[in-house]
Structure 1
Amino acid sequence: MNKYRVFWLIFFGGLLLFAGAMVWYTQRALTPYPPSQAALRALESSTDLEVRATAYGWVFIPQGAVKGGLAFYPGGLVEPQAYAPVLRQIAASGYRVALLRVRFNLAVTEQGKARQAIAEAPTLPWAVGGHSLGGVVASNFAQSNPEVRALVMWAAYPQNDLSAKNLPTLALYGEKDGVIRQEQLAASQGKFPQGTSRQTIAGLNHAGFGAYGPQRGDNLATISPEAGWDEIARRTLAFLDQALTRP
């Protein structure tokens, strides 16, 4: 075997090795966090709440009078079903809740997805919300869609400057969050809409807003998942009742 053949064998072998490594890394980096069994159970219909699969994801429809709507974007690389335990509680208290499915489990790929959910019940007063990256996308949607009456951000902050916007906003955080970048959160405080309600839940971490297990880089929660979901739902409901149902 001459030296040229050895060179090309080494060259193409290295190229194949590099390509394989890139495929492995990309697959690993884009592997989503799956929903827990508790989340999947929360997607089942009951006598007082219908859960229906739709073209945009899922919709939770309570029995009786509906007070308003919430279109919800999932966190980055989190399968949307993971948010069902909290969203089910919100829906059971009288809200039509749309859980949005987005390409590659990244809300930035389909920032206008909430329009499909709102179009199904256009006469309702609607809020948009999301967790982490989903909360950022929800803030972008609220900025460019004046029909949105309220904004819900879980463990998130605005990408754009909404400080001139008079929009009821809930900014809800976990005390033990190890994922959100505190320096960027601090720098973003001037971008929130006027009158934003900022609240922190003791013992809650970043992943505790959903039901998908531990998240890389997060801190351990000192509150049980169920207690965390109850508190998130309680605070979000109190906000929605004030923002959407009062004159």
Structure 2
Amino acid sequence: MGKKKRVLIGICIFLVLVVGYATYYLNSYYRATDEMDKFIKSDDQVAVKEIEEGYFFDGPGDDKAMIFYPGGKVETKAYARLMNKLAKEGIDTFLLDMPFHLAVLDKNVADKIISKYQYDTYYMSGHSLGVGGV
């Protein structure tokens, strides 16, 4: 076997390993407990709607909203309890769903929310790597 062929085979093996690891990395993340499912559903105080950008928690307030970027490699619904509680306290919340659970891959999504919804005040928040999206 020639030197060029061995180098080419080595490069191919390296690329397969890199793609395999990247696939594993992007698909392994913290998954929320089943307990969070009850907070992602509407109740008598908060209407929860799935929107293109994630979830909208519509509580009794109508002038303030918070846009929340989840932490890196954390399932979106892991924050449902917090978003539901804030909505009950009068701050409607937008819980963003990020590609591969990484806010850095869609950091300007808040602009879409602000252009679609009309609130007097917006708060921006995030957790861990999600703060990089803010």
How would you bin the TM-score normalised by the shorter chain? 0.7 to 0.9
Partner of 1:50: 47
Contact persistence 2:61–2:87 (CA under 8 A): no
Is the contact between residue 102 and residue 110 of structure 1 (CA under 8 Å) also seen in structure 2?
yes
* Superposition TM-score, scaled by structure 1 size: 0.48
Q: Per residue, is there more helix in 1 or in 2?
A: 2
Please give the alpha-carbon distance, in whole angstroms, between the structure 2 residues aligned to 1:11 and 1:121: 55
Work out the percentage of aligned pairs sharing the same amino acid: 26
1:41 alignment partner in structure 2: 38
1:70 positional shift: 0.3
Is the 1:71–1:127 Cα contact (8 Å) retained in structure 2? yes
Distance of 1:7 and 1:72 partners within structure 2: 51
What is the aligned counterpart of 1:133 among 122, 129, 134? 129
2:56 aligns with: 59
Residues 143-182 of structure 1 mapped to structure 2, 5 A cutoff: none
Measure, in 2, the Cα distance between the counterparts of 1:116 and 1:40.
26
Equivalent residue number for residue 197 of structure 1? none
How far has the Cα of 1:12 moved from its partner? 4.8
Cα distance in 1 for partners of 2:42, 2:92 equals: 14
Query: Separation in 2 of the partners of 1:39 and 1:67?
Result: 26
How far is 1:80 from its partner? 1.6
Q: SS at 2:73's partner residue?
A: coil
1:93 match:
89
Query: Could you say which structure has the greater relative contact order, defined with CA pairs below 8 angstroms and 6 or more residues apart?
Result: 2
Structure 1 unmatched ranges of 5 or more: 139-247
- Aligned counterparts of 1:115 and 1:93: Cα–Cα separation in 2: 24
* Whole-angstrom distance in 2 between the partners of 1:69 and 1:106: 22
What's the CA shift for 1:37?
A: 1.0
What's the offset of the Cα at 1:90?
0.9
1:77 aligns with 2:73: yes
Distance in 2 (CA, whole Å) between partners of 1:113 and 1:40 is 24
Matched, 1:30 2:15: no
Following TM superposition, the consecutive aligned residue runs of length 4 or more in structure 1 with deviations greater than 6 angstroms are none
Alignment gaps of 5+ in structure 2: none
Which residue in 2 is equivalent to 1:118?
114
Q: Structure 1, residues 21-63: CA drift from partner, whole Å, max 9, x if none?
A: 112211222223222212232111112111001111110001x
Opposite residue 136 of structure 1, the aligned amino acid is: G
Cα distance in structure 1, aligned partners of 2:129 and 2:4: 46
Residue in structure 2 matched with residue 21 of structure 1 by the alignment: 17
The aligned length equals 133
Match of 2:40, SS state, is coil
Q: Which has the larger radius of gyration?
A: 1
CA distance in structure 2 between the aligned counterparts of 1:121 and 1:7, rounded to whole angstroms: 59
- Normalised TM-score (structure 2): 0.84
For the 8 Å contact 1:111–1:137, the answer to whether it is kept is: yes
